[in-house]
Amino acid sequence: MFKGSMPALVTPFANGQLDLDGLKKLVDWHVDQGSHGLVPVGTTGESPTLTHAEHDLVVETVVKQAAGRVPVIAGAGSNNTAETVRLVKAAKAAGADAALVVTPYYNKPTQDGLKAHFLAAADNDLDIIIYNIPGRSVVDMTVATMADLAQHPRIIGVKDATGDLSRVPKQRLSCGPDFVQLSGEDATALGFNAHGGVGCISVTANVAPALCAQMQDATLAGDFETALSITDKLMPLHLAIFAEPGLVSAKYGLSKLGLCAEDVRNPLVGLTDGAKAAMDDAMRHAGLIN
């Protein structure tokens, strides 16, 4: 179920409030463009600045609008285990297919602490995908810890944003070939799949869903020549999107396509003029705008 290109969805705002109509429009557009799944309320969905009620409402809206056409992996991350459990339960109640749970940030748990956190999340009758992103959380889940957690029937995979492609075969050997490995880094998504991954939870796919889906389809079919050709189109966009906070760039790109306002919540602010110019150039290179 969980493979291919899955946009880490932005959360549209209008005058500072949730734009649910805009969110529904984005869901339909992504399905039409060939995205293989949707991941709302991650960091790209501005989860840190959503209220609990807003967070739950976004998940409910995406699940309802997707209507089973693609799977939905709901963000359920917190550095508070009790809050993570609440978010997982809310995702299950909304009908999400899985929850994406990040390694707890800032409080820097030990590997035993990580095990306790994820086992608590997993004991709620919903599939769990670990999100390992040491650059943001300041804690790295080891391969050995992940292998231990993979023994739980509900802990089914990882979104790996370590940037270390050697992790993919190591985790495949330790966690088994059926453990779902999804890239969390757009620029190395092709290489990630070549090492044994099966997809990407992508920021770039917010703006270029068709190209990202086509690249993923090519790698999964073993057609790396086609995948490389598509990556050549996408690479400037990968780089431009992350020149400043990725979600801000993604919203700017969507605004150029008439699909989303640029509005973000503080402490984030709009793109600089230089970043906008880089996004414009990259979108032209990818054939997304004239």
Domain residue limits, the chain? 4-223
Q: How confident is the model at residue 92 (pLDDT cuts 50, 70, 90)?
A: very high
pLDDT tens across 163-211, in order? Answer: 999 999 999 999 999 999 999 999 999 999 999 999 999 999 999 999 9
Per-residue model confidence (pLDDT) at position 118: 98
Average pLDDT of every residue of the chain: 98
pLDDT tens track for 80-90: 999 999 999 99
Report CA-CA distances (Å) from 119 to 1, 141, 202.
22, 14, 26
Which entry of 3, 92, 159, 276 is annotated as an active-site residue? 159
CATH topology of domain 4-223: TIM Barrel (3.20.20)
196-223 exposure pattern, b = at least 16 Cβ within 10 A, e = fewer: bbbbbbbbbbbbbbbbbbbbbbbbbeee
Q: What is the pLDDT of residue 58?
A: 98
Place of tokens 């734009």: 19
Closest CA to 48 of 270, 272, 240, 264: 264
Q: Is 159 a catalytic residue?
A: yes
User: Is-above-0.85 flag for pTM?
Assistant: yes
pLDDT band at 60 (very low <50, low <70, confident <90, very high): very high
Which one is catalytic: 131, 251, 252, 276? Answer: 131
| Confidence (pLDDT) at 12 | 98
Confidence class of residue 21 from pLDDT cuts 50, 70 and 90? very high
* Percent share of the chain, pLDDT over 70: 100
The total number of residues written for the chain in this structure: 290
Q: Is 24 considered catalytic here?
A: no
Q: What is the pLDDT of residue 258?
A: 97
